[in-house]
Amino acid sequence: MENREQLYIIKIGGNIIDDEHRLNAFLKSLSVLAGKKILVHGGGKLATKMAADLNIPQQMVDGRRITDAETLKVITMVYAGYINKNIVAQLQCNGTNAIGLTGADGNLIMAHKRTSSSIDYGYVGDVDMVNDIMIHDMLSRGLTLVIAPVTHDGRGQLLNTNADTIARSVATSLAQRYAVTLIYSFEKPGVLLDVEDENSVIPRLNPSLYAKYREEQKIFAGMIPKIDNAFAAISAGVQNVIIGKAEELDKLTSGCGGTSITHE
């Protein structure tokens, strides 16, 4: 187990995607990070803005986008097109040989259309399979993978899939092959006890402490899906899971920043 090579899987999201200067600063930090790397990115607010410009109504339920056929077109153009290729171009500029992918490319991530008895999410996908063999092959060739949050069902249908979940699924699929560190990076310095106080970072979070904070309603609601994905990754054999600030990537990778997700 000790001989497994280090692999960093980093999800970038939140307001960082929407801020060109902060995103480029993060990508410079990523470029100087030694070792094998996979970047999973979210979509920021650009898809919402483009949908508004095209007069395509948007509907959100509990922070999740209802993805009808027209919205799926926008998401594919923005996430898999502009954002993904802009990130790849910036990484190339910084000396990192990167390749941009969706779940459909090389059959990278298979998913199925989400079904719910109460809500029709439209073309939203839940992950079924990650092609870890192909990922390993590309990593072994020195490529940094940049994955957009678009998957497919194997029958020609693209699906909008939560980027946090994609990051967790990729991490767990590679956990037996690599010593995986999964980092959820965004604009906050970690999981906060007080969303208004950036000095209230919880340095370590285990399941019992998480349950306590949730019962006391001290965890910001928008963080719950991210934390749930983090605990699922740890339970599935991912070595380290850290939630923290994108601009502090060096601290997160050295274990001296953010919130570390741990077992009991």
State the pLDDT at residue 222. Answer: 79
Residue 43 domain flag:
yes
Residue 173 lies in a domain: yes
**What pLDDT does 63 receive?**
65
Start-to-end CA distance of the chain, whole Å, equals: 21
The per-residue DSSP string of 171-201 comes to HHHTTTTEEEEEEEEESSSS-BSSTT-TT-B
- Comparing CA positions, the residue from 57, 40, 51, 98 lying closest to residue 74 is 51
Question: Structural domain tally of the chain?
Answer: 1
Q: Residue 139: inside a domain, yes or no?
A: yes
Instruction: State the pLDDT at residue 1.
Output: 47
What CATH number does residue 16 fall under?
Answer: 3.40.1160.10
Separation of alpha carbons 219 and 62, rounded Å: 15
For the chain, 264 residues long, the average pLDDT of each consecutive 10-residue run is: 86 89 95 97 88 88 83 96 97 98 98 88 96 98 98 98 96 97 94 90 94 88 88 95 94 91 86
In a domain, 198, yes or no: no
Is 262 within a domain?
A: no
Domain containing 19 equals 5-186
**Cα–Cα distance for residue pair 207/105, rounded to 1 Å:** 36
pLDDT in the model for residue 61: 77
Per-residue confidence (pLDDT) for residue 2, from 0 to 100:
58
In a domain, 246, yes or no: no
Quick check: is 175 in a domain? yes
The answer to whether position 13 is within a domain reads: yes
Supply the pTM of this predicted model. 0.94
